[in-house]
Amino acid sequence: MWGPYLADHERVPEWSKETLKILRGLAEDDDSGVTVREGVEATRIEMDPPAWIADLEYSECPPTELPDGFVRGWQYAIPVADMPVYLKYLEDRLKQAGGRLEQGVVTSLETVTPVDASVVNCTGLGAGELAQDADVVPVRGQLVEVENPGIKKFFGEYCQEGAEPTYFLPHGNRVVLGGTHERGRTDIETDAESVAGIIQRCVAVEPALQNAKILNYRVGIRPSRPKVRVERVRLGSRHVVHNYGHGGSGFSLSWGCAREVVNLVLDIQQPPDREGDVLPYPPADTQLGSPSRRMAAWISPPKS
Ligand SMILES: Cc1cc2nc3c(=O)[nH]c(=O)nc-3n(C[C@H](O)[C@H](O)[C@H](O)COP(=O)(O)OP(=O)(O)OC[C@H]3O[C@@H](n4cnc5c(N)ncnc54)[C@H](O)[C@@H]3O)c2cc1C
């Protein structure tokens, strides 16, 4: 779901706002896996709402509508993605734009980059080794997928960094329940104690989840870093544009950071005629300015 969390950089507000705009546009496309969903974010201690809430239309929840144990909350609508559908959609778009996918393990940024060319490094946690960056830290997160007993709105706990957030997100006939915040842990085994804790906390917020049938367990590792790294470095005559360390906000910052990356790559290449290429994306109603036009130009198929 969109909402900056566990990611630090002075440009997070700009990147997340740009991403919000594009995701809202994508939600108009039934094939994208992105929809705009209403829900509630609430806190157990007296806190002001996150600053990014100013980018949304929101209203304060009446205290009577808050779950037990919560003292303040806000209602708003945000883009959420069914990730397998969204990733497939992005893959198809890449291919339509003339891109090619090859899978393999990269052992050196230098040898993978052709001489006088550039490579974009989006290896998440892998950047720790590949870019020899000791600041990259894993923060494990666990999810439980259950049958949807009829829940239509998401719920998210706004809590201090490091705490275990409680949240659930309906996706059609499934609901994804979370979560955990396990710093330094990289194993991907399902942890029964965490599962029990997630279910217990979610049921306390939404009793309808009490007997929901468990469908699946999922574990992911957030690639956390004290500061998101989006920058260009030189390796001799080669260039690497780093784009990693997005912690719990990889989806929420994705389009804003991608635009930044494209601009960095174009600045390296300085092609003379990219600005005028045909723009297959983003959808016309997203009203994007010049930098995004440059990004769309970059993913356009080469002219024959
Ligand atoms: C439980 C959970 C819930 C989350 N919920 C949200 C949410 O609601 N909203 C949100 O914005 N974010 C959320 N996140 C965070 C989000 O998933 C991450 O920020 C995002 O996945 C980071 O994307 P990335 O592409 O930088 O890294 P990754 O997703 O980790 O992808 C990196 C890729 O690089 C590959 N790779 C690494 N090293 C190498 C190598 N040497 N050679 C070749 N390939 C390599 C990896 O295999 C992987 O495919 C959540 C994370 C978790 C764990």
Query: Which of 167, 201, 224 delimits the end of a domain?
Result: 224
CATH of the domain at 97: 3.40.50.720
Question: Are residues 143 and 203 located together in one domain of the fold?
Answer: yes
The reported pTM is 0.89
Query: Which of 224, 249, 270 delimits the end of a domain?
Result: 224
Question: Residues lining ligand 1, CB < 6 A?
Answer: 1, 105-106, 122-126, 130, 141, 143, 178-179, 220-223, 244, 246-252
Residue with CA nearest ligand 1 atom 22: 250
Best of 17, 91, 123, 186 for a ligand 1 pocket test (most atoms within 8 Å of beta carbon): 123
Ligand 1 atom closest to the Cα of residue 245 is: 26
| C-alpha dihedral, 197 to 198 to 200 to 204, nearest 10° | 140
Residue with CA nearest ligand 1 atom 50: 248
Phi-psi group of 224: left, alpha or beta (phi > 0 → left; psi -120 to 50 → alpha; rest → beta): beta
Q: What's the CA gap between 41 and 35, in Å, rounded?
A: 18
pLDDT of 114 reads 85
Q: Which residue has the tokens 């010049």?
A: 290
| Distance (Å) from CA 204 to ligand 1 centroid | 29
| Distance (Å) from CA 150 to ligand 1 centroid | 30
Residues 6+ apart with CB under 8 A from 138: 125, 183, 184, 185, 186, 221, 222, 223, 224
Question: Are residues 179 and 279 located together in one domain of the fold?
Answer: no
Question: Are residues 60 and 150 located together in one domain of the fold?
Answer: yes
Residues 6+ apart with CB under 8 A from 266: 274, 294, 298
Residue 119 lies in a domain: yes
How many whole angstroms from its chain centre is CA 80? 10
Residue with CA nearest ligand 1 atom 14: 248
Ligand 1 atom closest to the Cα of residue 248 is: 15
Best of 222, 225, 244 for a ligand 1 pocket test (most atoms within 8 Å of beta carbon): 222
pLDDT of 116 reads 82
Q: How many domains does the chain have?
A: 2
pLDDT of 52 reads 93
Residue with CA nearest ligand 1 atom 2: 141
Question: Are residues 171 and 292 located together in one domain of the fold?
Answer: no
pLDDT of 236 reads 85
Question: Can you give the pLDDT of all 304 residues of the chain as single tens digits?
Answer: 999 988 999 999 999 999 999 999 999 999 999 999 999 999 999 999 999 999 999 999 999 999 999 999 999 999 999 999 999 999 999 999 999 999 999 999 999 988 888 999 999 999 999 999 999 999 999 999 999 999 999 999 998 877 889 999 999 999 999 999 999 999 999 999 999 999 999 999 999 999 999 999 999 999 999 999 999 999 888 999 999 999 999 999 999 999 999 999 998 887 545 444 333 333 333 333 333 333 433 333 333 3
Residues 6+ apart with CB under 8 A from 188: 219, 221
pLDDT of 60 reads 96
Residue 11 lies in a domain: no
pLDDT of 269 reads 82
Residue 6 lies in a domain: no
Domain around 111: 86-135+227-299
pLDDT of 273 reads 52
Residue with CA nearest ligand 1 atom 9: 1
Q: What's the CA gap between 260 and 1, in Å, rounded?
A: 21
- Residue 62 half-sphere exposure toward CB, CA atoms < 13 A: 2
Q: What's the CA gap between 152 and 24, in Å, rounded?
A: 19
| Distance (Å) from CA 124 to ligand 1 centroid | 6
Ligand 1 atom closest to the Cα of residue 126 is: 38
Query: Which of 207, 224, 241 delimits the end of a domain?
Result: 224
Residue with CA nearest ligand 1 atom 33: 123
